[in-house]
Chain A
Amino acid sequence: MTPGGYFFGVCAVVAVLGALATISARNPIRGAMGLLATIVGIAGMYVQLSAQFLAAIQLIVYAGAVVVLFVFVIMLLGPDAHGADGGKRPGSWARWIAAPLVSVLLLGGAVLLARVSTPQRFRAAPPGHGTIEAVGGDVFGRALVPFELSTALLIVAAVGAIAIARSRATKPSERPASVGATRRLFGGAIHPRDARTVDDEVAR
Chain B
Amino acid sequence: MGLTGYLLLAAALFSLGVFGVVTRRNAIGVLASVELMANAVNLNLVAFSRHHAGPTGQVFALFSIALTVAEVVVGLALVLLLFRAKGDVRIELASELKD
Contacts and interface: CB of A to CB of B under 8 A. Distances in A.
- Please say whether the chains A and B touch (CB closer than 8 A): yes
Contact of B62 (A22, A54, A164): A54
Contacts of B31: 70
Categorize the interface residue count of chain B: 35 or more
Interface string B67-93: 111111110111111011101111010
Contacts, number: 249
Which of A20, A53, A54, A169: most chain B CB closer than 10 A?
Answer: A54
B77 A102 contact: no
Interface residues of A, number: 96
Interface string A99-117: 1101110110111001001
A138 B56 contact: yes
A150 B68 CA distance: 11
Contacts of A167: 81
A133 B58 CA distance: 12
Given A80-B87, A102-B15, 17 more contacts: A23-B19, A23-B36, A32-B32, A35-B35, A45-B46, A50-B50, A61-B65, A66-B68, A70-B28, A84-B88, A114-B8, A121-B3, A138-B55, A138-B56, A161-B74, A164-B78, A169-B81
Interface of B: 1-9, 11-20, 22-29, 31-33, 35-36, 39, 42-43, 46-47, 49-51, 53, 55-56, 58-59, 61-63, 65-74, 76-81, 83-85, 87-90, 92
28 contacts: A5-B1, A19-B17, A22-B20, A23-B23, A23-B32, A28-B26, A45-B9, A49-B50, A51-B58, A61-B65, A62-B65, A70-B28, A70-B32, A70-B72, A77-B89, A85-B29, A89-B90, A96-B23, A102-B19, A106-B14, A106-B18, A120-B3, A120-B4, A154-B69, A157-B70, A161-B76, A165-B80, A175-B84
